[in-house]
Structure 1
């Protein structure tokens, strides 16, 4: 481990992804796939999911990363992400997954957002502005943490428009400057590339780009 001005860099060849969310894991594996590093998930190690009791993305990301790092005794990476809708005062925000219910029914979640927008009369595109947030937390067993924020602005559409790999709220989120929703894009189109042109498109790609630049030495990068 190396440390500069309080910020640490990873020297190891393995990173623990503190998540049981298959869609999130798939995206992190895609984005970090070029690293010369093995990724292992909390589920593969049999680690439990800690209660997400925080009221901010940072708090929940730290809870998940620190729980995994402490239990496994190694560096862990977590992601707390969500959809923030302007007309709904930032909701669902940190409670994004809760709107999908205990069975994570994302069709239900998207429908709830649309119902709430209908209640406040948000019909026109300029009334349906939203942003996706990805807050990554890197944690060490000794309690040290580092956070990296990625955001993507866009507009909510209805009805949902999806492709074969869409999950979460992707089918209703059309990123700024695009004519398709995230749900209609493949992984390369949604995220871009953190290793070269085209640049990062998604919120998660943008947080990962910051993470890699700050915490991964050149020897681990492609």
Structure 2
């Protein structure tokens, strides 16, 4: 009987993502390590889809560290903007990780727009090694609407302007435990864990 890997590298430097993954995987005795702490630099995301970029990041982290890797490529998809910012969500305003700039640009682009429908989309990829021919891939979607102004101080990224109708608040106003249950990443993680259980059963 095989077991879960003892250590998995997360192909991201985002502390918010690391916290979410750590809280879910610690129950299986898995230590999640951010790639930066292992000296792994970000790799250019040259794919045109969330799946392609997640595979690129997971393969790179696994190759550099020699560890199994999980990569997350997520983004905000806004109907009225033709799917933008999409795969460019983290660098929508130009600089990677500039959440305030990204939100400001989004609100500007949405000014006067009546159709506020949007969703967060997440693709997760797990690779046992850099040449893994059968990576595990899972995806999750979280529907909502774009607010006209920021609300809430928790979460990260576009959370302050992403309104969740089912909870009547923005993602930045939700308790972390609840967000982890219903978010795009939470849904994708549940599916990934199921696939990993089958793989390592």
- Does the TM-score normalized on the shorter chain lie above 0.5? yes
How far apart are 1:93 and its partner, in Å?
0.3
Distance 1:137 1:103, change over 3 A: closer
Q: Does structure 1 conserve the Cα–Cα contact (< 8 Å) formed by 2:55 and 2:71?
A: yes
Q: 1:10-50 CA distances to partner (integer Å, 9 max, x unpaired)?
A: 64222111111222222222333322211122111111111
Q: Secondary structure at the match of 1:34?
A: helix
> Unaligned regions of 5+ residues in structure 1, if any?
3-9, 193-200
Corresponding position: 1:188 with 2:169? no
- Compute the TM-score of the two structures, normalised by the length of structure 1: 0.83
Is the CA contact (8 Å cut-off) linking 2:11 and 2:58 kept in structure 1? Answer: yes
1:26 is aligned to: 19
Equivalent residue, structure 1, for 2:116: 128
Give the CA deviation at 1:99: 1.1
Residue 44 of structure 1 aligns to a residue whose secondary structure is helix
Distance in 2 of aligned mates of 1:212 and 1:97: 25
> What do the CA deviations read for 1:168-220 (whole angstroms, capped 9, x no partner)?
0000111241211010112112113xxxxxxxx00000000000001135989
Write out the 4+ residue segments of structure 1 that deviate beyond 3 Å after TM superposition: 217-220
Counterparts of 2:105 and 2:199, CA distance in 1: 44
Q: CA deviation at 1:100?
A: 4.0
Write out aligned runs for 1:55-204 (5 A).
Answer: 55-102=48-95, 104-118=97-111, 121-123=112-114, 127-139=115-127, 140-144=129-133, 145-163=135-153, 165-192=154-181, 201-204=182-185
Unaligned runs of 5+ in 2: none
C-alpha contact (below 8 Å) 1:11/1:217 kept by paired residues: no
3-state secondary structure, aligned to 2:60: helix
Task: Report how many residues are paired.
Answer: 199
Match of 1:53 among 26, 46, 66: 46
- State TM-score, norm by structure 2: 0.91
Q: Per the alignment, do residues 103 and 176 of structure 1 end up closer, same or farther by CA in structure 2, a change over 3 Å counting?
A: same
The change in CA–CA distance for 1:100 and 1:30 in structure 2 (over 3 A counts) is: farther
Q: Secondary structure at the match of 1:50?
A: coil
C-alpha root-mean-square deviation of aligned residues, in Å? 2.1
More helix by share: 2
Choose 69-78 or 19-28, whichever is displaced more: 19-28
Cα distance in 2 for partners of 1:114, 1:97 equals 15
Is 1:216 equivalent to 2:160 in the alignment?
Answer: no
Residue 101 of structure 1: CA displacement? 3.1
